[in-house]
């Protein structure tokens, strides 16, 4: 497992060298989104009010930001669950030309296929440690604040070597968590047996599941 310190905007060559399980730290410009922004853009057919041409790191995140003496102050930050954005995942990677998504819970098949095609990776934190990150994040600006609210808005951040994040989807179509899931499922059977449960135990069918 290698460790990389990457600077955004990312090039194809920056992300193509990454393999699942590698550890990355990221510097440079990034932006945030949550469901409300993707619905606003992709379903409600609105246009982002600002160019993200040179901003290809997306952080799934709803930060806590307050205004202090006329300036934005980041109070807390933690990447959020990516799987809930699966509906818009492939579209986001394609239309926003993303090279990296920072989030947790990894993403689904459709997004992974697009990530492979467009050369994009997904990375996840291995801790819940906002205080080790917020000093390394400068809030540059915010868009759609009035339309979408404080945490659903599109925040522009400048990152200074924040991490560590583990690469869980690489550009070759591999998923770190798929591999780990197989190991856990193997252990599941042993674990169930150890507490007196038959791994193939079948429940009495009280009603037909539909």
Partner 1 sequence: MIKTEIYEQVIFETIKRGATEISKDVKLAFERAIEKETKQDAKKGLIATLKSMEMSKIRENPLCVDTGWPIFYFKVGNECELEGGFMELENATRRAVAKATEKGYIRATMKHPLTGYDPGNNVGENIPNFTYKFVDGKDIEIIYVAKGGGSECFGGTRHKVIAYADGVEGIKKFVVDCFVASTRAGAICPPSVLGVGIGGTANVAANLAKEAACLRTVGSSHPEKAFNDIEKELYKALNGLGIGIMGAGGDTSVLAVNVEYAYTHIAGICVATSSNCMVARRASTLIKDGGEVILQESPTWFDNRS
Using CB under 8 A as the criterion, which residues of the chain lie in contact with partner 1 when the complex forms? 23, 36, 39, 61-64, 66, 75-78, 80-81, 83-84, 104-106, 124-132, 134, 149-152, 164, 166, 168, 176-177, 180-181, 183-185, 187-188, 190-192, 194-198, 201, 203-204, 206
In which element (H, E) is residue 74 found? strand 71-76
- The pair of structure tokens assigned to 68 is 């202090």
Q: How far apart are CA 163 and CA 165, in angstroms?
A: 5
**How far apart are CB 150 and partner 1 at their closest, in Å?**
6
Residue (150 or 158) nearer to partner 1, CB: 150
| DSSP one-letter string for 153-180 | SEEEEEEEEEEEEEEEE-TTS-BHHHHH
CA angle 27, 136, 126 (to 5 degrees): 80
The answer to whether residues 141 and 84 touch, using CB atoms and an 8 Å cutoff, is no
Q: Of 109 and 188, which CB lies nearer to partner 1 in the complex structure?
A: 188
- Minimum CB separation from partner 1 for residue 169, in Å? 10
What Cα–Cα distance (Å) separates residue 53 from each residue in 29, 56, 85, 96? 11, 7, 21, 8
Task: In angstroms, give the least distance from the CB of 100 to partner 1.
Answer: 17
Between residues 2 and 180, which has the closer beta carbon with respect to partner 1? 180
Q: How far is the CB of 124 from partner 1 (least distance, A)?
A: 7
Q: Which is nearer to partner 1, 53 or 201 (CB)?
A: 201
Q: Under a CB-based contact definition with an 8 Å cutoff, are residues 140 and 29 in contact?
A: yes
As measured in angstroms, the least distance from the Cβ of 13 to partner 1 is 26
> Smaller CB distance to partner 1: residue 12 or 191?
191
Q: How far apart are CA 55 and CA 64, in angstroms?
A: 21
């Amino acid at each position: 497992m290698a460790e990389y310190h990457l600077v955004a905007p990312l090039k194809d060559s920056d992300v193509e060298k990454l393999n699942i399980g590698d550890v990355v730290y990221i510097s440079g410009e990034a932006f945030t989104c949550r469901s409300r922004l993707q619905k606003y853009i992709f379903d409600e057919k609105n246009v982002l009010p600002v160019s993200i041409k040179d901003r290809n790191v997306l952080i799934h995140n709803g930060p806590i930001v307050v205004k202090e003496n006329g300036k934005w102050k980041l109070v807390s930050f933690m990447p959020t669950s990516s799987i809930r954005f699966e509906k818009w995942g492939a579209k986001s990677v394609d239309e926003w030309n993303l090279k990296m998504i920072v989030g947790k819970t990894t993403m689904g098949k459709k997004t992974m296929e697009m990530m492979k095609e467009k050369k994009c990776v997904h990375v996840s934190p291995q801790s819940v440690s906002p205080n080790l990150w917020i000093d390394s994040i400068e809030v540059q600006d915010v868009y759609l604040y009035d339309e979408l609210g404080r945490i659903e808005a599109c925040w522009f951040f400048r990152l200074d070597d924040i991490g560590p994040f583990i690469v869980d989807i690489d550009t070759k179509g591999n998923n770190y968590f798929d591999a780990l899931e197989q190991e856990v499922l193997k252990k599941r059977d042993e674990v169930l047996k150890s507490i007196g449960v038959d791994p193939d135990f079948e429940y009495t069918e009280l009603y037909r599941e539909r």
